[in-house]
């Protein structure tokens, strides 16, 4: 981020903080305080990509969060959404893809502090040990987590989630058999490999333009308790708990502060409207379903 943009964001954060405090207190009184769910990718000191956060900065981010928010699990996020009430500032943490470097500092730090975390992994990379295609395209060969690492993380209390079999844009795939393999079969295989249930799914990319109603329905019918998107947005009490919205975390501390403290700019992002649960067969021609979500 450029120094000028950093300065502007810092000024915006400081200027809007009093209003945010008033809004949070009012929302807490009425029990409709939104919950921010954050997602990381890779924590390592080289900061080679836009989705890499340095170890020291990660520690400072976690310290800042745990001193100001109740750190909760995705299951607890869903419970508060389902019950339609949240009166305490709360944040949940997730990771996407599954980078081996995260096991050096990031995950041990979360375990040390007892911070819940859901860790979404792409199965094919974990099994083969091959770097992710999006890293290779930039000339990097960061190693993915191994199955043994994932099993150890799950044994230590980290919730392992599915990030499909391959890191592909599923919105471009129309073959029902392949979609079932990517979403359902891969999740079941992952659960068998790590010896723990896989309850949550995060779609690769996760933008509202890459989601389709048949993908969501397949995840629901496949037995997942919920899915995560990745286009920003808060989780409000009373919203459909099957869809958990998330903000990306990068190496900019002020951006994290803005998003965690309920940034008015992100209260109403473009959203994906989830169709009601249905027992009807999925069809090849099922089309995406978008709306401007209320939250």
Q: Name the residue range of residue 264's domain.
A: 3-271
Q: State residue 140 phi and psi, 5-degree precision.
A: -110, 150
Tell me how far apart the alpha carbons of residues 246 and 85 are, in angstroms, rounded to a whole number. Answer: 19
The structural domain count of the chain equals 1
Name the helix (H) or strand (E) containing 101.
none
Q: What CATH number is given to the structural domain containing 32?
A: 3.20.20.370
d(CA 10, CA 6): 6
Residue 5 has a pLDDT of 87
Q: Is residue 119 part of a domain?
A: yes
Which letter does DSSP use for residue 267 in this model? Answer: S
Which pLDDT does position 279 carry in this prediction? 33
Tell whether 27 is covered by a domain: yes
Query: Does any domain span residue 278?
Result: no
**Number of other CB atoms surrounding residue 138 within 10 Å:** 11
HEC-encoded secondary structure of 71-85:
ECCHHHHHHHHHHCC
> What is the per-residue pLDDT for 273?
61
**CA 138 to each of CA 43, 52, 114: distance values in angstroms, whole numbers, following the listed order:** 17, 13, 35
Tell me what pLDDT residue 270 has.
59
- 283: in domain: no
Q: Which DSSP letter does residue 146 get? A: P
Instruction: Identify the sign of the CA torsion 64, 68, 71, 76.
Output: negative
pTM of the model: 0.90
Cβ 172 vs Cβ 109: under 8 Å: no
Query: In this structure, is residue 65 part of a structural domain?
Result: yes
- What is d(CA 15, CA 12) in angstroms, rounded to the nearest whole number? 5
Written in H, E and C, the secondary structure of 38-78 is EEECEECCCCCCCCEECHHHHHHHHHHHHCCCEECCHHHHH
Burial of 269 (0-12, 13-18, 19+ CB in 10 A): middle
In whole angstroms, give the CA distance from residue 156 to residue 92: 18
Position 286 in a domain: no
C-alpha 210/C-alpha 164 separation (Å) is 14
Q: Which helix (H) or strand (E) holds 118?
A: strand 117-121
Q: How far apart are CA 178 and CA 191, in angstroms?
A: 19
Residue 277 is assigned to a structural domain of this protein: no
Q: Average pLDDT by consecutive 10-residue portion of the chain (295 residues)?
A: 86 93 93 98 93 97 98 99 98 99 98 99 99 96 98 99 98 97 99 99 92 96 98 95 97 94 81 48 30 29
Please check whether residue 215 is in contact with residue 207, taking contact to mean a CB–CB distance below 8 angstroms: no
């Amino acid at each position: 981020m450029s120094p000028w943009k950093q300065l502007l964001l810092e000024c915006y954060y400081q200027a809007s903080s009093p209003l945010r405090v008033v809004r949070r207190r009012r929302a807490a009184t009425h029990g409709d305080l939104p919950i921010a769910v954050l997602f990381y990718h890779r924590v390592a000191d080289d900061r080679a990509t836009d989705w890499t956060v340095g170890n020291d900065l990660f520690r400072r981010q976690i310290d800042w969060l745990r001193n100001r928010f109740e750190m909760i699990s995705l299951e607890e996020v869903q419970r508060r959404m389902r019950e339609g009430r949240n009166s305490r500032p709360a944040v949940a943490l997730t990771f996407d893809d599954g980078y081996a470097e995260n096991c050096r500092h990031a995950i041990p730090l979360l375990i040390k502090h007892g911070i819940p975390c859901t860790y979404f992994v792409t199965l094919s990379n974990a099994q083969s040990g091959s770097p992710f295609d999006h890293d290779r395209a930039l000339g990097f060969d960061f190693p993915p987590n191994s199955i043994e690492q994932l099993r150890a993380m799950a044994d230590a209390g980290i919730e392992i989630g599915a990030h499909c079999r391959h890191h592909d844009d599923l919105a471009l795939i129309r073959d029902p058999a392949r979609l079932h393999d990517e979403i359902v079969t891969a999740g079941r295989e992952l659960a068998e490999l790590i010896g723990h249930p896989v309850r949550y799914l995060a779609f690769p990319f996760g933008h509202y333009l890459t989601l389709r109603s048949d993908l969501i329905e397949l995840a629901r019918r496949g037995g997942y308790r919920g899915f995560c998107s990745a286009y920003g947005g808060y989780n409000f009490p009373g919203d459909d708990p099957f869809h958990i919205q998330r903000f990306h975390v990068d190496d900019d501390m002020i951006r994290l502060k803005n998003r965690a403290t309920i940034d008015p700019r992100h209260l109403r992002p473009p959203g994906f409207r989830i169709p009601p649960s249905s027992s009807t067969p999925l069809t090849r021609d099922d089309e995406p379903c978008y709306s401007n979500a209320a939250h």
